A and B are shown apart, each in its own frame.
Chain A
Amino acid sequence: MMTEATVGDAPEEAWRRQVRAIVEELPFDDDLSCFVVALETLAEAFALDDESPEDVA
C-alpha cells in the first residue's frame, strides 16, 4: 500500500500520499464499542488450555 509514494518525493509529500492512499480510502468505521472490549473478546477466542484462569496472581 506504500507504493503510491514515489522515489524522489519530499518526505512531506510522500507522507501526504500515504495518508491519502491508506487512511482516506478506509471505510469509516463507527463502531463505538470500547476497544478494550474488542481485545478481551479476541483474548477469549485465542486463549490456550494451559493458560487457565485459576492461575491468578
Chain B
Amino acid sequence: MSAAELLKGELWTAAAAVRAGEVRARELTEAAIDALTSVGPTLNAVAGLDAEQALAAAERIDRSRAAGTDLPPLAGVPMAHKDMFYRAGRVCASGTRIRAGFVPGVTATALERLDAAGAIDLGRLNMVEFALGLTGHNDITGHPRNPWSTDHITGGSSSGPVAAVAARLVFAALGSDTGGSIRVPAACTGILGLKPTYGRVSRAGALPLSHTLDHVGPLGRSARDLALLMEAVAGVDRRDQTTSTTPVPAYSRLLERSPTRLRLGVAESPFELPLHAEVAGLYDAAVDRMRQAGLRASGLALPALDSLNVLRRVVMIAEAAARHEDFLEERRDAYNAYTLARLDPGFELAATTYLRAVGWRAEAVRRFVGEVFADADVLVLPAMAEPVPRLDATDTADMAGYVRRVNALGHFICPFNYLGLPALTMPMGRTANGLPMAIQLVAPPFGEARLLRLAHHLETNAGFRLGEPPIVTGRSGIG
C-alpha cells in the first residue's frame, strides 16, 4: 500500500507498516506534507508547518530501522497538534493576535512523550482564540472548515485538529478540553475524541485557560489509535502536580477484552435540553445497535446537568478572566469580540461564588458517580442535541445568541469537565444534512480503558464508524 493510501487509514496500521519496513517514515511524512499543503488551505486547518524538522525526524526513524534498532510504538507516524502545545523555540500563537510571535522556552510534556514514542510532529493546527469557544469561529485566523461540508462548523476549540484528522491530512492530533473542546469538534467531524480523567494527562506546557477544568487528550480515527496515543501521553508528571500516580493501563491490549459483560446505563429522555427529532432517532437506533451487538443496555435517569453546567461556567469564567486580566488591560482591542463576550462576565462574579463552585466539585463528583455508576459501568448519553449547525447559523455578530448557542452545544458535554470524569465521543451516524452525529460514553474516574474497549467493540461490531468525508473521497493527486 502506498504512503498516501496508508495516510487515509488508521495510525496503528501505519505504525505497523513502518516497523515492518513496508513504508518508510519519510514517505509517510511526505504524504502528510502533500495533504496538508494541498487540502489544508481549503479547510484552513494549518497554522504553521514544520516540514524540514519533520522530515529530518522521519529520516532518523528510517536510519534506526535500517540499523536494526527496535522502534518505539508510534515511530514514523505524522501528526500535528492544536496550536497551544509549546515546543521550545517554535512559535505558539494559540489563535490570537496577542501571541502571534510568542516563542516558548519549554516543550509541553505531552509533545515530549509523543517525541519519545517516535511520532513525527508536522506542526501547528488552527484553533479558536485562546481555546475559548465551541463553534470553531475565529475571525483572526479564519474559521477552519468541516471536511464533511465547508458550510458547516467544525466545532471548537480544537477546530484545525479535527479538520486535519477527519480529512486524513494527519493520523491524529492532540487537543485540549476545558468545556468540550475535544469532544464537540470530534462529534462535528465524525472522528473520536477522548477527554481523559482530570489528572491522567499532564497539562504542563499547554496553554492554560482554566486550570480546574483544562484537560489534554487525543483526537483520532479509531479507538485503537486513541489507545496507543493514551499509552504514550498518560501518566504522572512532576511538571503538573495535578497528575495522578495511578498506573497507566495497557489500553491497546485491553481493547481485546469483550465488553459484553459491561452494564451500559443509557440516559433516557426527557432531557433538560430536548433532542432534535433527527438526533433522537439516531440515538435510539444507536442504542438498538448496541443491544444487537450483544451489549447489556438499560435505561437510566440522567442526573440534572443544568446545575453542573452553571457550576462549570462559574469556575471557567472566573479562572479565565483572572488569567486574561493583564492581556485585557493592555490589548483589549486585539481580542475577537466573542472571546470578550465570554471573558467579561468573569469579572462580575463574587470571589465567594467562585469558591463555592470550585469547593463543591469533589462532593459533586462523589454524588454523581454514586448515583450513575451504582448500577452501570458506562454511562451512554447524547453528545449534542441538534445537528451540526451551519457557519452562517452561528452568527457571532449576535453576542447573546452566540453565547446561548455555545452553552447549548456544550449541554451534554461540559458537566464532565467540572466532574473530571473520562468522556469519549464517537460517531453514531449522519443527519439529513450529511453531517456526522456522535454519541458520548462516560466512565468512573480513570476508566479510559473501559471507554476505549467499548468504543472498539462499537466500531467493529455495531457500525459506529463513518466512511471518508467527501473531501477525501474526491481527493486526487494525493490518493
Contact = CB atoms under 8 A, between A and B. Distances in A.
Interface of A: 1-2, 10-12, 15, 18-19, 22-24, 26, 28-31, 33-36, 38-40, 42-43, 45-46, 48, 50-51, 53, 55-57
Contacts, number: 121
A20 B262 CA distance: 40
Contacts of B242: 34-36
Contact of A42 (B365, B377, B400): B365
Given A31-B362, A35-B420, A57-B231, A43 B447 contact: yes
Interface stretch (B131-139, B307-315, B460-468): B307-315
A46 B447 contact: yes
Contacts of A29: 356, 359-360, 362-363
> Which bucket holds chain B's interface residue count?
35 or more
Given A51-B249, A51-B254, A56-B247, A33 B353 contact: no
A35 B362 contact: yes
B246 to A, nearest CB: 6
Interface of B: 197-199, 212, 231, 234, 242-244, 246-251, 253-254, 257, 261-262, 272, 304, 306-307, 310-311, 314, 345, 349, 353, 355-357, 359-363, 365-366, 369, 373, 377, 400, 403-404, 420, 444-447, 449-450
Contacts of B403: 11
A45 B333 CA distance: 50
Nearest to B227: A57
A46 B421 CA distance: 13
Given A15-B345, A39-B420, A40-B445, A48 B450 contact: yes
A43 B246 contact: yes
Contacts of B359: 28-31
A2 B272 CA distance: 9
